[in-house]
Amino acid sequence: MSVKKPPRSTLEIQNFTIDCFFDIRPHRLTDSSTLPILDYSNWVDWSEYWQDHLILYDLWQYVDPTSTATVPPPTTNVNRDIAKTLTENITKIRQHVSPECRKLLVGHTNPRDLWSSLKAGCDRGTTLPLIDQYELFHSNKWEPKDTISTYTSRFRNIFLSLENTSSKIHRDIAVHLLVDRLPDCYKTEGQTAKQLNLPFIETVTYLLANIKDSSSEGDNTSGQALVTRGRRPNRRTSSRNLRNGGNNSNSNRREQSNRNSRNK
């Protein structure tokens, strides 16, 4: 029994569908315009993408800094294809580095050296801001126009920004700096908070709850102004007293005049 062959056009469609199903090479799956661009903040995501990309082409061993594999000499067609594919992909990687990071590419033609340079440079780009924040926390102090709210907020915000990083500040150091740099008028509350041995954020909360949020040490202008305003006589009261005083004088004069008339 003979099997009827499908029309040629139908057979071509079937073959094309099968080819597309099995061809899963990266260039068929991604658009170059959507590939990640390296900057100083996204090394983890960027490196994971390109590492997977190189693994898919069986090229990662020539880029991996922990590997000692070398590109095979171009003595066979297979080896030449490996070298050509590696060069093409390294070129693509170089094209997906942002302008601010391109200086990290200078002088590196070896794929492994190139990768290591990019990682080291981006690690510094990530670490330096953390160091700046760490130093800012240690240099933070009570400023002339500070209130307890603004003072503790600066400490709290920096502490939280470093909490899940390698530059995390130890709780004891953080609490000591927070309390030690309070003005003298707040030292008692600060020492009490310190003795409670609370976590840093809870220590901040305690200070905010137990210290009246007034102006800075040695500059209680706002408080003095409130006192001064409290001592000023009320205008309505003063006017009323003046009117009452005037009425009392008139009444006294009339009473004195009546007594003089009776004496006559």
Least confident of 30-34, 214-218, 226-230: 226-230
- The residues, any chain, with a CB within 8 Å of residue 204's CB and separated by 6 or more, are 152, 155, 156, 178
Q: What is the pLDDT of residue 32?
A: 61
Q: What is the pLDDT of residue 248?
A: 53
Q: What is the pLDDT of residue 24?
A: 39
pLDDT tens, residue by residue, 76-124:
999 999 999 999 999 999 999 999 889 999 999 899 999 999 998 888 7
174 vs 243: which has the higher pLDDT: 174
Q: What is the pTM of this model?
A: 0.44
Evaluate if residue 17 carries a pLDDT over 80.
no
Q: Which residue is it, tokens 């924040």?
A: 133
- Please compute the mean of the pLDDT values over residues 191-206 and round it to a whole number: 95
In DSSP terms, 38 is beta-bridged to 97
**Chain centroid offset of residue 78 CA:** 49
Evaluate if residue 245 carries a pLDDT over 70.
no
pLDDT tens, residue by residue, 220-236:
333 333 333 333 444 44
Burial of 81 (0-12, 13-18, 19+ CB in 10 A): exposed
Least confident of 54-58, 72-76, 89-93, 210-214: 210-214
- Please compute the mean of the pLDDT values over residues 45-73 and round it to a whole number: 95
Cβ–Cβ contacts within 10 Å for residue 15, how many? 10
- Report helix angle 77-95 to 111-139, nearest 10: 30
- Please compute the mean of the pLDDT values over residues 49-74 and round it to a whole number: 95
Q: What is the pLDDT of residue 226?
A: 30
pLDDT tens, residue by residue, 116-173:
999 988 887 777 677 888 899 999 999 999 999 999 999 999 999 888 877 899 999 9
Phi-psi region of 244 (alpha: psi -120 to 50; beta: other; left: phi over 0): alpha
- Please compute the mean of the pLDDT values over residues 187-209 and round it to a whole number: 95
Q: What is the pLDDT of residue 112?
A: 95
Least confident of 48-52, 164-168, 200-204, 222-226: 222-226
